[in-house]
Amino acid sequence: MTSAFLAALSTACAVWLWTGPTVATTRLSKLLTPSHDLNRRPHNQSLSKLLTRPSPARRAEAWRRASIELCQSLSAELSAGRTPGEALTRAITAVEFPDPDLLRPIVAAARDGGDVPAALASSAPPQGGEGLRQLAACWEVGTTVGAGMAALVDRVAHTLRAAQAHRQDVAAQLAGPRTTARMLALLPALGLLMAGALNMHPLDFLFGSLPGFMCLIAGIALDACGLWWTNRMATQAQT
């Protein structure tokens, strides 16, 4: 009976560890909101920002969406008859970027007549900055050859939208394999629950003997490696 209870408890803990961080992080970030205590406010704000920081994949996706919006806004400003520098400045201020501070060199170059392609290329983040780098190449071609800037920006926006649609399609196709991998990762915990219900005392073997403890460590390591490898393959397929 005790083994069954411990097996059920371990299964519940495994399920919570897999599905619970989002809720736990949200609750903890609410507890860490700035209070009236001035001595604790900077510490709480830094912890709250650390907990709510988006993952690199989500941050890159936010940059890609913002780049598409930037190209669309820039094309509209150019079509309205504004100069390229003024159009780019107005377009950047109209779009919400994940890190607006990185775009200050671009705004300064567009406003003061500086090297806009170099500012765009240097401000583009390593992940998710493909749109800014393509826009830099588009800007350089438009100013060097004298081609229509609005048409070039429209082409860049179309390319970015097509790439975005492809990534979304790949993500939808990978949703099934990812769910299957998560279910397979929980099967060992369910096996412990079934063994405890049959009075086979699996926890006594796992925690009460050296071979059992070695099996436990090996199983956890293999389970974690399987999850990591599946997520890595899925992430590479989306890039």
Share of residues in the chain with pLDDT > 90 (%) = 16
The domains of the chain are located at 2-20+167-238, 56-165
pTM score of the predicted model: 0.58
Q: How confident is the model over 186-204, as pLDDT tens digits?
A: 888 888 888 888 888 888 8
pLDDT at 211: 87
Q: What is the pLDDT of residues 100-113, one digit of tens each?
A: 888 999 999 988 88
Gap between the Cα atoms of 25 and 17, Å rounded = 12
